[in-house]
Chains A and B, each alone.
Chain A
Amino acid sequence: IMMTQSPATLSVSPGERATLSCRASQTVSSNLAWYQQKPGQAPRLLIYGASTRATGIPARFSASGSETEFTLTISSLQSEDFAVYYCQQYTNWPLLTFGGGTKVEIK
């Protein structure tokens, strides 16, 4: 299953909303996770089950979608949110695949 993320880069001002998209080449039901990776760090799990925030993830992160279309929204960007975001499908366990990532940068 191929995962395609768009846009590749998103330029957003602090305090603004960011909307990231992820598309699957075939249905993954709700078996979709989102990760955040900051420079020089390992990725961190943000969302699983397409819409459930992982432990400790702030409420400004929300996600939705099912089947093949998914969205991650950051409602009001904070300085610490500028990072690369990856989606990952796990419907085809153990053949797991990630999207190519969306870099959220400061406008």
Chain B
Amino acid sequence: EVQLVQSGAEMKKPGDSLRISCETSGYKFFAYWIAWVRQMPGKDLEWMGIIYPADSDTRYSPSFQGQVSISVDKSISTAYLQWSSLRASDTAMYYCVRHSITVAGTFDYWGQGTQVTVSA
């Protein structure tokens, strides 16, 4: 069974650094692109970027380029989303998602989401 299990909710202050994780299982981790999607409170879904675990090829949405960093650890089939300096506007739910291998560009499996709250 394919599973994407994300790390728990985080409460941080502006300026803090943060790394959230997405542990995958049930499939060949290195063979599927993994993406991160942001959902701000009451708002729509925003694609942030993707990574190909086999070679760590990473692409970012222009809206998020330079704001976050996406990485993987192939040895533990886990993807990461990282901030070096959080802002209040980063408060949102973050989902890791697996790109379908049969219909490139669609998301066939989703993590449960990680709520990030940034407040002074």
Residues of A within 8 A of B (CB): 31, 33, 35, 42-45, 48-49, 54, 86, 88, 90-91, 93-101
Contact = CB atoms under 8 A, between A and B. Distances in A.
B93 to A, nearest CB: 9
Given A42-B111, A54-B108, A95 B61 contact: yes
Majority secondary structure of chain A interface residues (helix, strand, loop or mixed): loop
A101 B105 CA distance: 18
Contacts, number: 57
Interface residues of B, number: 22
B103 interface: yes
12 contacts: A31-B105, A33-B106, A35-B107, A45-B100, A45-B108, A88-B45, A90-B103, A94-B33, A94-B105, A98-B45, A98-B47, A100-B44
Interface of B: 33, 35, 44-47, 50, 59, 61-62, 95, 100, 103-108, 110-113
A76 to B, nearest CB: 26
B106 to A, nearest CB: 5
Contacts of A45: 100, 106-108
